[in-house]
């Protein structure tokens, strides 16, 4: 439920004391941080003064578009400041282009009221096809879709989408409350359309019935749904949005999506939407582009309104009505569909006028301040986060930013932009680089640890070994980098592992566990990668003969009757998540690194009073290997990547007890630990050890 106690007092200046203490390099940029904050408070004050409250302002989806009144009359409202006239047409009036004109109001707004029929039913029935007719200043008639359309659909023989009036007699009602916000966020990144082994577009219903139970079984407590906002081009992966308030009709109806979210909530799974407010499709007939016949309705005009790489349109975040549209869009997905938060796509593109193009982002602080920074976008993101967290205290917001902008995940009051998490995008790049360029014996333990732990203090990260980016055609997943073509012939569990398969399976588990345990405060996995999904991801297009062969996830590989080793990787991923669920290392801020041995290829650290031991050496196993211990007492193995059920060699007895000794251990950075213990670590093995004498409730 939304918490509508929205009013929050803001001081004249932000409290930067903690921010500057954690990062003294920001001291020269205090004025920049204060200016951003003041621009935010000014914008928020003006909004509340003009609109009454941001609660009302962000519910504008209840005013614009089509609204059925209590007497079943239909009220249509649009904002089209560049139009000379506006008309409604469709099946209801035999597509007469001018019989139903809108009335022009102030500030570029238009209004039309249709009284009910003689039988008191609405003048336009559910699932009626509609269009707007926009008369431009040049006298041209343009067919358009309402920006507030709740459902759009493309007929099989059509090139563009149609606006479908969606007003079911019995709408789906949510039965289950939102789950409590997880302390440890374990995200399953998913695309509904590819969530089936079949060479076709899968549905919301398929996802509800067949994928959500897998997500629950795997121990993920959050699903992040991609490509939900309607997009005309399937191959855009949902990142070229045409209709911002419409759930993609490729996968089913709005009611089907509501049932999906409600079912996820019944399983205790939080649901995030991959929201795209960084740009919009350049489509005109079924998108926002040139909605009123001008370039500058929702977007900047000229070069500033065009993304030079993506070929898409860029929003004018300073526009009052654009602000209304985008903030209301966030509320719509939270209220109508009951999403629990958002992963904001393309944040790096929003933050800078150069959109991150040809930028390496060396970490120099001058990169984050100055004329290259788009302060309109920054203020918009601050408003988005403030409003979401004020109305929905448990709402989760994640920023996709490659630049490392300081304060991205600091609260607005403390000088930040207000996100809860940022994606740690350097980690998957590091793993791919290692697999492409280095032999196993050349792996640099210190560099791996540095990459996994190099994040801004006090700003939470979502870490991942691979996401959808690595699965796309032109790249390879970790499993494919490790095992390549042998995945087609040698994954049977009925035959001995070849050296390639053996190496691939062991390293696949170790890489994912190390990333999970050390890389951030949340963890993300792209669907199918948990079991080493073979091949790449490629949507239907002319270049592949419009084929769906690679636009699917082959969950059928997990069928026990197939006797394939994918089930072993699946089992490890499940038990890795369940082990985290018990001990809660993602929620623990403190990590004590004690070993990063280049010669032995061993990494050891403690987090949440749990010991993590990794031996990456391709051939050397170590008996009685001394490692630093946390609290004194008896330790036992809680997760062993070498266990046979995970495709390992079963070289360890999980019932073995390890007792700490009063022998100090000199760890990383010459830090002495008072206790240590000896363990046997087989080559290419990862262990999780827990103290049997501690209470791990977190």
pTM of the entire predicted model = 0.96
Beta pairing partners, 423: 462
Catalytic residue of the set 23, 78, 336, 345: 345
pLDDT of 269 reads 98
Clarify whether 345 is annotated catalytic: yes
CA angle 227/146/321 to nearest 5° reads 90
> φ and ψ at 385, to 5 degrees?
-70, -40
Catalytic residue of the set 189, 286, 400, 642: 400
pLDDT of 160 reads 87
Residue 509 contacts residue 565 (beta carbons within 8 Å): no
Q: Could you report the per-residue pLDDT of 477-488, keeping only the tens digit for each?
A: 899 999 999 999
Going from the C-alpha of 458 to that of each of 23, 407, 415, 455, the distances in angstroms are: 10, 9, 13, 9
Clarify whether 3 is annotated catalytic: no
Residue-wise DSSP of 218-282: TT--EEEEES-EE-S-GGGTT-S-SEEEEE-GGG--HHHHHHHHHHHHHTT-EEEEEE--S-B--
Which parts of the chain register pLDDT below 50? 1-5
pLDDT of 474 reads 67
Q: Could you report the per-residue pLDDT of 14-35, keeping only the tens digit for each?
A: 999 999 999 999 999 999 999 9
**7 C-beta neighbours (distance < 10 Å), count:** 10
CA angle 674/677/679 to nearest 5° reads 155
Residue 554 contacts residue 488 (beta carbons within 8 Å): no
């Amino acid at each position: 439920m939304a918490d509508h106690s929205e009013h929050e007092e803001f001081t004249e200046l932000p409290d930067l004391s903690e921010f500057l203490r954690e990062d003294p390099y920001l001291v020269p940029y205090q004025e920049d941080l204060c200016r951003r904050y003041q621009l935010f408070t000014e914008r928020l004050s003006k909004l509340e003064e003009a609109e009454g409250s941001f609660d009302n302002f962000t519910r504008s989806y209840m005013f614009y578009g089509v609204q059925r009144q209590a007497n079943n009359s239909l009220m249509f409202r649009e904002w089209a400041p560049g139009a000379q006239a506006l008309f409604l047409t469709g099946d209801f009036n035999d597509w007469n282009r001018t019989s139903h004109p809108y009335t022009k109001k102030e500030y570029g707004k238009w209004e039309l009221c249709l009284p009910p029929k003689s039988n008191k039913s609405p003048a336009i029935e559910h699932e009626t096809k509609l269009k707007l007719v926009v008369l431009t200043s040049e006298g041209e008639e343009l067919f358009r879709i309402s920006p507030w359309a709740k459902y759009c659909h493309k007929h099989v023989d059509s090139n563009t989408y149609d606006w479908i009036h969606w007003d079911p007699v019995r709408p789906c009602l949510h039965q289950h409350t939102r789950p409590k916000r997880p302390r440890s966020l374990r995200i399953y990144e998913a695309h509904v359309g590819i969530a089936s082994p079949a060479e076709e577009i899968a549905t919301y219903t398929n996802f509800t019935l067949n994928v959500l139970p897998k997500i629950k079984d795997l121990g993920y407590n959050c699903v992040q749904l991609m490509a939900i906002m309607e997009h005309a081009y399937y191959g855009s992966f949902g990142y070229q949005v045409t209709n911002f308030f419409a759930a993609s009709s490729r996968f089913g109806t709005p009611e089907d999506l509501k049932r999906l979210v409600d079912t996820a909530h019944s399983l205790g799974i939080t649901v995030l939407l991959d929201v795209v407010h960084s740009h919009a499709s350049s489509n005109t007939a079924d998108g926002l582009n040139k909605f009123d016949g001008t370039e500058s309705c929702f977007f900047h005009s000229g070069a500033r309104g065009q993304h030079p790489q993506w070929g898409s349109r860029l929003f004018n975040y300073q526009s009052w009505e654009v602000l209304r549209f985008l903030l209301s869009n966030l509320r719509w997905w939270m209220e109508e569909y009951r999403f629990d938060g958002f992963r904001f796509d393309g944040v790096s593109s929003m933050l800078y006028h150069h959109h991150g193009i040809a930028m390496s982002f060396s970490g120099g602080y001058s990169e984050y301040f100055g004329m290259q920074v788009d302060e309109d976008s920054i203020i918009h993101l601050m408003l988005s986060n403030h409003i979401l967290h004020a109305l929905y205290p448990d709402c989760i917001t994640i920023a996709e930013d490659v630049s490392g902008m300081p304060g991205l995940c600091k609260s607005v009051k403390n000088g930040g932009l207000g996100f809860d998490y940022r994606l740690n995008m350097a980690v998957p790049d590091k793993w791919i680089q290692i697999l492409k360029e280095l032999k196993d014996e050349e792996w640099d333990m210190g560099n791996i640890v540095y990459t996994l732990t190099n994040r801004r203090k006090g700003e939470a990260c979502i870490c991942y070994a691979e996401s959808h980016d690595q699965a796309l055609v032109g790249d390879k997943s970790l499993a494919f980098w490790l095992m390549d073509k042998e995945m087609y012939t040698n994954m049977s569990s009925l035959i001995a592992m070849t050296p390639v398969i053996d190496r691939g399976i062991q390293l696949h588990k170790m890489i994912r566990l190390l990333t999970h345990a050390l890389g951030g405060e949340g963890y993300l996995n792209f669907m199918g990668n948990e079991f080493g999904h073979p091949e790449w991801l490629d949507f239907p297009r002319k270049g592949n003969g419009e084929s769906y062969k690679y636009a699917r996830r082959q969950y059928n590989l997990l069928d026990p009757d197939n006797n394939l080793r994918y089930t072993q990787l699946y089992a490890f991923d499940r038990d890795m998540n369940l082990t985290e669920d018990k001990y809660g290392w993602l929620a623990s801020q403190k990590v004590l690194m004690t070993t990063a041995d280049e010669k032995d290829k061993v990494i050891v650290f403690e987090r949440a009073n749990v010991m993590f031991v990794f031996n990456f050496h391709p051939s050397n196993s170590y008996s009685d290997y001394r490692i630093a211990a946390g609290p004194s007492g008896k330790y036992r193995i809680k997760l062993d990547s070498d266990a046979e059920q995970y495709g390992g060699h079963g070289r360890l007895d999980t019932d073995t007890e390890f007792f700490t000794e009063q022998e100090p251990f000199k760890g990383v950075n010459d830090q002495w630990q008072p206790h240590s213990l000896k363990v046997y670590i087989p080559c290419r093995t990862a262990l999780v050890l827990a103290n049997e004498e501690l209470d791990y409730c977190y």
